[in-house]
Amino acid sequence: MGLAGIDASPRGAGESVWHPERDQIELTCVLHALSDPMRLRIVSELAAGEARTCKSFDLPVVKSTCTHHFKVLREAGVIRQQLLGTTRVNTLRRKDLEARFPGLVDAVLRGACR
């Protein structure tokens, strides 16, 4: 599932962590990523607003656990993480997900708000 492989070009405001390409996003991985309440909450909040840093989510777990959940979401192709100074800015990969699995994210988000 998560293979870093060779990543080059560390930069300031761009990418430097591995993300799957749009075509590499797998349905089972996305479903698994979304099947955890904490991660579903992250995605919901991310869908509601704009780009958010990891810390701006007030999750009831320690930092390293946050890192884990954001990593699962990123490697599944659900979110994109961009380096900005000492923080990571998270965004939902709406377009990519919509292109690959039309209607899925909307249906999940609608169900998550219940």
Partner DNA sequence: GCCAATGTACGAAGATCATCGAACTTGATA
Partner DNA sequence: TATCAAGTTCGATGATCTTCGTACATTGGC
Q: Is 77 in the site for DNA (CB under 7 A)?
A: no
Q: Is 38 in the site for DNA (CB under 7 A)?
A: yes
- Of a copy of itself, DNA, none, which one does residue 47 interact with (CB within 5 to 8 Å by kind)? none
Q: Are 80 and 90 in contact (CB under 8 A)?
A: yes
Residues that bind a copy of itself (CB under 8 A): 27-29, 31-32, 34-37, 40, 100-104, 106-108, 110-112, 114
DSSP 31-61: HHHHTSHHHHHHHHHHHHSS-EESTTS--SS
Q: Is 73 in the site for DNA (CB under 7 A)?
A: no
* Least spacing, CB of residue 44 vs DNA, in Å: 16
- Of DNA, a copy of itself, none, which one does residue 107 interact with (CB within 5 to 8 Å by kind)? a copy of itself
User: Across the chain, which distance is largest between two alpha carbons, in Å?
Assistant: 42
- Of a copy of itself, DNA, none, which one does residue 24 interact with (CB within 5 to 8 Å by kind)? none
Task: Pick the closest to residue 91 from 47, 61, 57 (CA basis).
Answer: 47
Task: Pick the closest to residue 82 from 33, 10, 16 (CA basis).
Answer: 16
* Least spacing, CB of residue 40 vs DNA, in Å: 11
